Chain A
């Protein structure tokens, strides 16, 4: 309870009216939610987090492992899968290989080694200090004496047998990288000294903040703040938070969140028939992801813009490849440049981008159902049940009466049984039919004129441009982002006991012009992020 009051004080005292970027003069009125949190569980580092942590620990320029235990997606997020999956026997082998290989690479590079081993190896205690510093950073917490002595013993044993200082280090540092203290996020909480229940410890907070906002391990300053007890106090926590959001690494955190939420990782393994899509090449997937993420980063990190604008903006970032798919002039010869799409056309926002249009399509044709399902499930958080297993789900082939996809899938919407779900998704996807299975604009399909009109929950639209507007103004859009951000930050699907916390964050998000960076900082300051559930 005391914690709740503390929050109220903060909100009234320094938070809301100062930060009221809405300029409406209306003060946000919300009371701190009561939360009941599930048992905390270990989260395995995602593949990208592993790579980022390695670079932070061993320095850049290393050849990163080609394969590790793959990320698992659960309930739409890799962040949730990470709380459920474990390390497979094959994974143990892969992580072992990777650890030795990476440490060896770093020690073999004079530049990397100089940072890793700042002391003279003949000096007393040099090896020990290197190991202690490395392990503290990698495990995101101070080492216990016994842990350090075990690691030092490993190094000494290896140095004795192989007669080489660096070989000794290699074994000790590789042990650090294979440990569950590194591969898993051990954030289990402690009794809250200021009240009932449990909270995350200072070092756990450092880790939680760092992985959420930077997608990597804490830096030295955050570790210092944790050691000084600053991350369980509102004011000092906020100071660190503001520093982190202003840091260039915030971009990595934002990229990771949107990549997970919008499944942009799938673009690495996208199948498109190049004999049908002449613009298709293996690089298209990566280019399309970069376009989307550049737009997101611009909105969230650099402009502190309105999340909803991501769906209606005509500004985007294109390379030559994408420019040719969009049939516009490439803004730059190399890399990505800013481009403004014509407001005479139908393409705007994320729903007009290849990353969405091509991914939510098949290998040779578009899919109204997949595209509509993405909008419902990912953007609006409305669960669409899978089709029953024992029905023929084939779409009738094109005939003289039914040329376009809209005419062919009419059966989905006429049959009462199919329509119960398909009416929720198909009309959205049919509004996007002027984009083919890769995202190229077209007005006809097999000679038939495409009709892109439709309605989204009572809002009529005449084409993809209008649909983008309807999605951006949909009442569920902000709330869905809040809910997904909560799940992403906590590593579990939002439970009943956290609904009030979602409401609380959602109110702040709306009040602050749907600023995603506000949402993320508000989330870190919230009880739902700082309190821990009981361990049974």
Chain B
């Protein structure tokens, strides 16, 4: 059979058939790509989240000195090499309800709202509103192949990237599977042509039929189900757009190239996952996915809230240690420092990718945080927050801002959302809601 040319495929798609819908004009859909950049459209802003579970030890975390004149703490010392690129925000609190150890904190920091409550007042592990990564993706995720990417480091990690109630984006936990998803057969390096594959148009026809099915069910169900099906529809539309984009020429970005293939497996060593190796492999892939503008929003779940995984060198699970390790908790301290070292790797990797005269990190913000400060008491005070990157000049770098009044951590989140060019009036709901950002971190 004669292979179809790319032109034929596009023509076929546009002409439509019995089961495919007409496409919106291509120009309208793909106005942000390599050509647009070249024409001076400016570099895109990106958002990244690095989340770890079980918090820190505030007395060993908080830097000394404030503003631009400050010294890293013991737990932040692994970030010494990138001190000028980061901003530490200390002394912030969650003003949301602290009902369920760990889960309340996850919702509090990532949404500024309480967990979804049942009619009888009980709350469950689901967020009521989207997590900050999805809030941002809803605004800036629409122009790339992937609206957002979610990854994790520890096997079994579930993440907390919520599109809405009971709707979580599962993180990819296998580096090789993640590699194949992003850099597999459909990936094109700058300069190559888009994917020429007649199956893309056929897959879109299938999705059209599926969408019609969803609409049909939607007409019969109750209000709660309609919300669920709308969310399903959103996902289908996104996949349709993605398939359409694959046929486009890839954006011409100077540092973009196919990432190198990670190891197929990461076996345990003495009952401990080689979490640093997995994390770094994932980071390398994420960094290249961002450099290639495959996505502008990612969330990386280094570990889950409440995780009781065994860290290398630790004698108990992490969560058990935060509660039961006596005294100054040297193992908890060791683990927090280890995590900060892994965060530093991600910051350095993003800073190492040039974009014009600057780096990818300069054109984004990376937020590192956890669901609590001191794990032992599930404290909502002294929340750990580290930012990296300048968001194209929107955010200050190299400072330590300390709140002496336990300000609402949502203020930081609102500043980050606004730094992404999103005109958001507020962040959070109820007691966690704010309408002012944190001016000290805004440039």
Residues of A bordering B, CB below 8 Å: 39-42, 66-67, 69-70, 72-75, 81, 84-93, 96, 100, 147, 150-151, 153-154, 157-158, 161-163, 171, 174-175, 178-181, 184, 186, 188, 269, 271-275, 280, 282, 362-365, 386-387, 389-395, 397, 535-536
Contact = CB atoms under 8 A, between A and B. Distances in A.
Given A150-B209, A171-B206, A394 B376 contact: yes
A271 B310 contact: yes
Given A96-B203, A390-B98, 6 more contacts: A88-B231, A90-B150, A175-B209, A186-B217, A364-B317, A390-B377
A180 B270 contact: no
Given A92-B239, A363-B310, A67 B19 contact: no
A75 B124 CA distance: 8
Contacts of B228: 42, 84-86
Interface centre among A174, A271, A387, A391 (most CB of B within 10 A): A271
Contact of B317 (A40, A158, A271): A271
Nearest to B18: A153
Interface string B305-320: 0001110000111001
Interface string B149-166: 010000110100001011
Contacts of B232: 86-87, 92, 180
25 contacts: A41-B222, A41-B225, A42-B228, A86-B167, A92-B232, A92-B235, A147-B213, A157-B17, A157-B20, A161-B12, A163-B1, A175-B209, A180-B229, A269-B155, A273-B315, A273-B317, A274-B270, A362-B308, A364-B317, A364-B320, A365-B320, A389-B101, A390-B379, A397-B324, A536-B223
B257 interface: no
Nearest to B378: A389
B177 interface: yes
B271 A280 contact: yes
B225 A42 contact: yes
Contacts of B177: 66-67
Contacts of A364: 315-317, 320
B99 A389 contact: yes
A162 B235 contact: no
A184 B165 CA distance: 18
A236 to B, nearest CB: 27
**Residue of B268, B323, B378, B379 with most chain A CB atoms under a 10 A cut-off:** B378
B209 A162 contact: no
A250 to B, nearest CB: 30
A320 to B, nearest CB: 20
Contacts of B125: 73
B198 interface: yes
A157 B18 contact: yes
A39 to B, nearest CB: 5
B234 A89 contact: yes
A91 B271 contact: no
Contact of A85 (B166, B234, B317, B320): B166
B144 to A, nearest CB: 13
B356 interface: no
B214 interface: yes
B170 interface: yes
A397 B323 CA distance: 11
B248 to A, nearest CB: 18
Given A181-B213, A363-B308, A395-B324, A161 B223 contact: no
- Max count, chain A CB within 10 A of own CB: residue among B17, B101, B210: B210
B333 interface: no
A434 to B, nearest CB: 21
A154 B209 contact: yes
Contacts of A75: 124
A388 to B, nearest CB: 8
B98 A89 contact: no
A161 B17 CA distance: 12
Contacts of B212: 150
B326 interface: yes
A88 B221 contact: no
A89 B164 CA distance: 12
Contacts of B266: none
Contacts of A180: 210, 213-214, 217, 229, 232
Given A153-B19, A275-B271, A161 B222 contact: no
A72 B167 CA distance: 9
B235 A84 contact: no
Contacts of A96: 203, 206-207, 239
B377 A392 contact: yes
Contacts of B235: 87-93
B177 to A, nearest CB: 7
A70 B315 contact: no
Contacts of B238: 89, 92
A364 B239 CA distance: 44
A88 B170 contact: yes
A53 B352 CA distance: 48
A91 B235 CA distance: 8
B236 interface: yes
Nearest to B218: A180
B210 A179 contact: yes
B188 interface: no
B198 A178 contact: no
A157 B198 CA distance: 11
Contacts of B126: 72, 74, 84
B378 A390 contact: yes
Contacts of A391: 377
Interface string B73-107: 00000000000000000000000001111001000
Nearest to A397: B326
Contact of A271 (B308, B323, B376): B308
A85 B167 contact: yes
Contacts of B442: none
Given A171-B202, A364-B315, A364-B317, A91 B170 contact: yes
A163 B198 CA distance: 12
A83 B310 CA distance: 34
B169 interface: yes
Contacts of B124: 74-75
Contacts of A70: 158, 168, 170
Interface in B169-202: 169-170, 174, 177, 198-199, 201-202
Contacts of A188: 220-221
Given A386-B100, A389-B101, A390-B377, A89 B163 contact: yes
B111 interface: no
Nearest to A149: B18
A175 B236 CA distance: 12
A85 to B, nearest CB: 5
A175 B378 CA distance: 47
Nearest to B155: A269
Contacts of A151: 209
B186 to A, nearest CB: 12
Nearest to A147: B213
A81 B168 CA distance: 12
A147 B326 CA distance: 65
Nearest to A398: B326
Contacts of A394: 323-324, 326, 376
Contacts of B158: 70
Nearest to A282: B268
B439 to A, nearest CB: 30
A487 B231 CA distance: 25
B224 interface: yes
A389 B100 contact: yes
B205 interface: yes
Given A150-B19, A162-B1, A389-B378, A89 B217 contact: no
B400 interface: no
Given A89-B235, A92-B239, A180-B213, A72 B220 contact: no
Contacts of A161: 4, 12, 198, 201-202
Given A39-B224, A275-B270, A280-B271, A81 B202 contact: no
A181 B216 CA distance: 10
A387 B229 contact: no
